[in-house]
Amino acid sequence: MSEARTGKRFPLELPIKIHKESEHGEHSGVTGNLSAAGVYIRADAALDVGSNVEFEITLPPEVTGAKENVVVKCQGRVVRTDQPAGAGQDSRGVACVIDSYDFVRR
């Protein structure tokens, strides 16, 4: 299997909210790693490879150097899914390419 990653990945566990285009509501999870081009997510959301997804990643002050959390709203696509790690677990892995992002001011 060839390596498709193009940017440096950072092993950060950050809270993430996932919005699926095909349904209303949101799912929550955590990032497994993050780069400028993509993110690996562990969440209870069932996402299909090729589907478009919108998600918000909350960056804490210790990551950004800011005084408050910074929220990044991203548009992307699912490129890989992994099955839950073990029996009785709902959390599955999802790899997404980030197509665009904006910083949210609140």
Per-residue pLDDT of the chain (106 residues; tens, 9 = 90+): 445 555 788 899 999 999 876 667 788 999 999 998 999 999 888 888 999 999 999 999 998 898 999 999 999 999 999 876 665 566 789 999 999 999 987 6
Domain membership flag for residue 39:
yes
Range of the domain at 97: 15-104
Does the pTM surpass 0.85? The reply is: no
Domain membership flag for residue 10:
no
pLDDT at residue 90, as a whole number? 66
Q: Are 64 and 49 in contact (CB under 8 A)?
A: no
CATH number at residue 45: 2.40.10.220
Domain membership flag for residue 38:
yes
Domain membership flag for residue 40:
yes
Domain membership flag for residue 45:
yes
Number of domain units in the chain: 1
Name beta bridge partners: 56. Answer: 17, 73
Task: Give the single-character DSSP code of 2.
Answer: -
Domain membership flag for residue 25:
yes
Domain membership flag for residue 9:
no
